[in-house]
Amino acid sequence: MEIVIRPTPADVAVTAADIVADHVRRGPAVLGLATGSTPLATYQELIRRHRDEGLSFKDCVSFNLDEYVGLPKGHPESYREVIRKEFTSHVDIPDAKVEGPDGTAADIAAEATRYEEAIKAAGGVDVQLLGIGTDGHIGFNEPVSSLASRTRIKTLTTQTREDNARFFASIDEVPIHVLTQGLGTISEAGHLLLLATGEGKAEAIAATVEGPVAAINPASVLQFHPHVTVVIDEAAASQLR
Ligand code: F6R
């Protein structure tokens, strides 16, 4: 596991964009995309490179990590819409190649299987962007998720619903269920790129990097992966030994 500590969140974004751009240039790349606040600056930097430097995503395919269950199609906070709004609609990746689990599917278990098969059919994810929850979740694999889990429905913890309430009018509007790639699914990506910024993530990052591998800290599964880059700012690194 490579740990890269950068002074500020803006520096984290530049380093993360360098890594993603490298995969894209080597292309055709299968990108694993995360939502949440952390990767937004990285997406901004990739959009800038597309606009100013001709970085092209036209041969890329992307897969979202997760999706809320029960938000209607087109809801502005559904992750399919968020990823379009924040990233893919600003670059030249074809919209039909921007994939995500369908949280509106009538049969969620069948949708989970379909999604796993779609990732496999694309040849697997080359580089997977990851944020981390304050409780150590990646994707929406909350504490005590099986380290071998596959795409499935999960119940969000109260902590995560509180953390995400900032995107909704009130916590009551934050869905309770999500469809998320499992820890086993995420671990099959060729290169895992975990980003974290701010003091609030320091404890989760220390547990991920230095703690025992345990289901109580889902991100610790990264310790088993042969190619992980953790890019964090000094605040998020503040509890590392
Ligand atoms: C989002 C996701 C989550 C977030 C995590 C951190 O697709 O999978 O694991 O990465 O909740 O969110 P932020 O970046 O908003 O702190």
- The string of pLDDT tens digits covering residues 155-199 is 999 999 999 999 999 999 999 999 999 999 999 999 999 999 999
State yes or no: pLDDT of 214 exceeds 90. yes
CA distances for 151 relative to 91, 103, 108, 117, 120, angstroms: 27, 12, 10, 10, 12
Q: For residue 91, how many other CB atoms are within 10 A of its CB?
A: 18
Catalytic annotation present for 137? yes
Q: Is the dihedral of CA 3, 236, 36, 83 positive or negative?
A: negative
Which residue in the list 135, 163, 191, 233 is annotated as catalytic? 135
If one residue of 12, 31, 38, 42 were mutated to test the ligand 1 pocket, choosing by the most ligand atoms within 8 A of its CB, it would be 38
27 CA to middle of ligand 1, Å? 26
Confidence of residue 41 (pLDDT cuts 50, 70, 90): very high
Residue whose pair of structure tokens reads 């074809």 in the numeric block: 94
pLDDT in tens, 104-138: 999 999 999 999 999 999 999 999 999 999 999 99
State yes or no: pLDDT of 27 exceeds 90. no
Catalytic annotation present for 135? yes
* ipTM over cut 0.85: yes
pLDDT value of residue 69: 97
Residue whose pair of structure tokens reads 């997406």 in the numeric block: 43
If one residue of 35, 193, 233 were mutated to test the ligand 1 pocket, choosing by the most ligand atoms within 8 A of its CB, it would be 35
* Residues flanking ligand 1, CB < 6 Å: 34-38, 65-66, 131-133, 137-140
For all residues of the chain together, what is the average pLDDT?
97
Query: Amino acid identity of 209?
Result: V
State yes or no: pLDDT of 5 exceeds 90. yes
Prediction pTM value: 0.97
Which run of H or E residues covers position 9? Answer: helix 9-26
